Structure formats: C-alpha cells, structure tokens
Amino acid sequence: MSNQVRLRLLPTARCLFDEPIQLKVAGLRSKQMVTMRARSTDEKGVVFSSSATYRADGSGEIDLSRDASLSGNYVGVEPMGLLWSMRPDILHKRFQKTNSLNPHVVNFSVHEEEGGMLAEVKNERFLMGDGVSRVPVKQGNIRGVLFTPPGEGPFPAVLDLYTFGGGLSEKRAALLASRGFLVLTVALYGHDDLPKNIKEVHLDYFEESIKFLKNQDKAGSNGVGVISLSKSGDLALSVASYLPGVQAVIWINGCSANVAFPLYYKNRQILSALKFDMNKVISTESGAIITKYGMHDPLKEENKASLVPIERASGRFLFVASEDDLNWDSKAYMNAMVDRLKRHGKENFESVSYPGAGHYLEPPFGPYCPSSFHAVTGVPVLWGGEPKAHAAAEVHLWRKIQEFFRTHLSCDKIKIKSKL
C-alpha cells in the first residue's frame, strides 16, 4: 500500500445509508490509470463488490463527483456508482439489510493497474440517525418495530408495510424516522411468533396497527400515512379504502387488485384473491423466470371481485410505477387506477413513472438487484430495470416520498394530550 496515495470520503466516512458521499483520491502520478473498488458483505454473508477504471488528472487526483469512469461496472460521471453497481458473488442474491442496529459497511479501495492496493477507506452507512429510538412492538396482534425521531415532536405518523416476503425489514422505516417521521413497520407473517405462512389476510391487523400508531404521544398528524411496495401495495390500497384515519398512501409497484390471498375484515371476506398462472412465466438462460405476464387480468369480469375500490378512500394517493418492472405490469395497474379514480370524479392522487427502473425501488445507494428468489413462485425471478436508471429513480423517489408525506401529513404545532 502506498504511503503517498490518499483516499478520502467527504464530508465524513460515517453517514446515513441514504446520504451521498464524495470519494476523492490524491497522490497519484499525473494521468495515472487506477481501478476503484467497493466491497461489502450483507447480513446473510453474501459478498457484494464493484469496480471502475479512472484516469487521474494532471495533479494526480481523482474526484468521483467530477471524473468519469472509463470502464468497469459503469461508465461516465457517477459519484455513487461504486455503491449502486455492486453485484453479489452468488447469482440471484438480493442485498439484505433489514436490521437497523448495525451500519452497512463498505470498503472502498484504489488499485494499480497490476492490482496492487494503493489506499483504502471504510464507509459506515447507518440506518438510524443520532437520537432515533427503536422499540420492538409486541402488543395485541401487532408484531413490528416503532422508530421515533429525536425531539419533542409532534411528528407525521407513517405505517410501513414494506414488501410481502415474510419477516420484517427495518431499513426504510429507520431511514424515514431519521428524516423526521414517526414510523411503525409491521410484519404479517414469518416474524417472532407469527405463523411462517398464511392463507388469508385480515384487515383488522392493520386497523390495530393504525390505532397503536395514532396513540403514540409524538404522533402529530391527524391521520397516518401508509407506504408499501410490491404485494403490500394492494394492502395499502385496501387500508385506505376500508379503514378510517388514513391521510396519505404511497403505492410502489403494486397491483390494483388484491393479490394471492383473500382479504377479510371483521371475519367477513371483502375481496377475493387475484391468482397467478405459472404456465405464463418466461424462462431465461440465467435460471430466473419472468413473471410479468403470469397475473390474471384484474379488469376481466371474472376477476373484478378482487379489485380494490379505491374510490372509497378519502386520503391522498401517490402511485409510483417502474416502466421496466418484470415482476408484473405496475404501469398498467397504475394507469387503470388513475382511470378508475377519474371516472369517479376523484382528484386525490398523483402519479410518477420511471423509465428503465425495475421492481424493487428502495431507499437510494444500495446495490441494484437484477434477480433474486421469489417467495411465492419458489424460484428466482428477474425484477427488471437498468442499473443506472434504476439508481437515479431511487434517488428521485426518496425525495418524492418525503415531500408527499410532509405535504399531506401536516402536524399541529402544539399537540395537547389529556393528563389524568
């Protein structure tokens, strides 16, 4: 390792997961060609890595916010390219960072063309900002984690449904709390003492979760926000359509109909399950399948009992669709919902779509996932998207999410709680 070459992370080597960093190299020879690398290990022990080739300027310096990668996992000026372009060393693995207590650690290094390391630096990317509290929730039927920002509040309250793969993910909830939201993330199955598998979903669980969230001392919004992704998108629609107290819903690459499991409320089925036809999947050479064309059409007469009656909702919707989603046709589902609301004279929605983005839109600067195991199909699936466009979509959407909730979950300046 060279004593002269310096690799720096600005403004600091410790930051939040969703914060950009500036990577700079100094002390190289004028116009020297080097390889920049990033390497990390996720919670499952899977190694993710990336590399890109750069040429130093006349002063022997490289600045990733200014200089273009000439080859490697990406080309062009991509300040965060080493992060989002990291790939797993095992095929069809999705980056797992669900526990908020430990940082995501990335080792950045700079190497000579022959491979020798010249310098390295460690980047610790935290999910929880300073002062954010994390409290596991096991009350009544609720199984989840409550994240509370530092300070007196009150704070906008958000229910995070994340995905429908079982278990509990804390990443998005912890980061939203770090940005000033009171967030409860809940698991529906596969966590704590919840069943490992389910055959039906009960809306009562989410009603209980909303009441719990609204009763928190620092919950300042009159109603709650709900944020979802994938299968939980239709659950978020149903929560907004059937339950009171929901002011704002973010639907990300979901379906317009209730998928896979019948939905019950007060022990009565309110929506049937839209089913999937495995005969319509497309196999690929990688061993992963494309499921986009396997869902039954929710607009056909025989499937309309699964459609969520979103015109019943009084809160605001933000519909988000990736145009290259290979899991299912999110863009078509979004367009159908927009048409449905317009037909009912509703204007309580906005929508955004991202060309070149795939199914899993998450908080920015994590490794892009082209394919991974799918809990429902039991085999790996292709999620779609082009890495650079997908990464840019995540940056834009993360800002959009926060703006939407701040706009539609306004808090009273002073929240008075009755005291006995």
Query: CA-based angle 242:245:248, to the nearest 5?
Result: 90
Please say whether the beta carbons of 52 and 72 come within 8 A. yes
CB proximity list for 4: less than 8 A, separation 6 or greater: 27
- Of all helices (H) and strands (E), which one includes residue 412? none
Give the residue from 380, 373, 162 showing the smallest Cα distance to 253: 162
Q: What is the 3-state secondary structure (H, E, C) of 16-62?
A: ECCCCCEEEEECCCCCCEEEEEEEEECCCCCEEEEEEEEECCCCCCE
The first and second tokens of residue 90, run together, are 């095992």
Q: How wide is the angle at C-alpha 288 spanned by C-alphas 388 and 168, nearest 5°?
A: 75
Three-class SS state of 166 = coil
Bridge partners (DSSP) listed for residue 317: 249, 349
Q: 295-304 burial, b for 16+ CB within 10 Å, e for fewer? A: bbebeeeebe
Query: Which residues, 6 or more positions from 285, have their beta carbon under 8 angstroms from its beta carbon?
Result: none
Q: How far apart are CA 149 and CA 131, in angstroms?
A: 7
Number of CB atoms found within 10 A of residue 137's CB: 17
Burial profile 368-395: b = 16 or more Cβ within 10 angstroms, e = fewer: bbbbbebeebeebbbbbbebbbbbbbbb
Phi, psi of 133 (to 5 degrees): -100, 145
Rg (the chain; Cα; Å):
23
Other CB atoms within 10 Å distance of the CB of residue 330: 31
Helical spans, DSSP H, in 144-297: 171-178, 204-214, 232-242
Per-residue HEC secondary structure of 273-314 comes to: CECECHHHCEECCCCCEECCCCECCCCCHHHHHHECCHHHCC
Active centre residues (catalytic) = 230, 325, 359
C-beta separation of 322 from 300 below 8 A: no
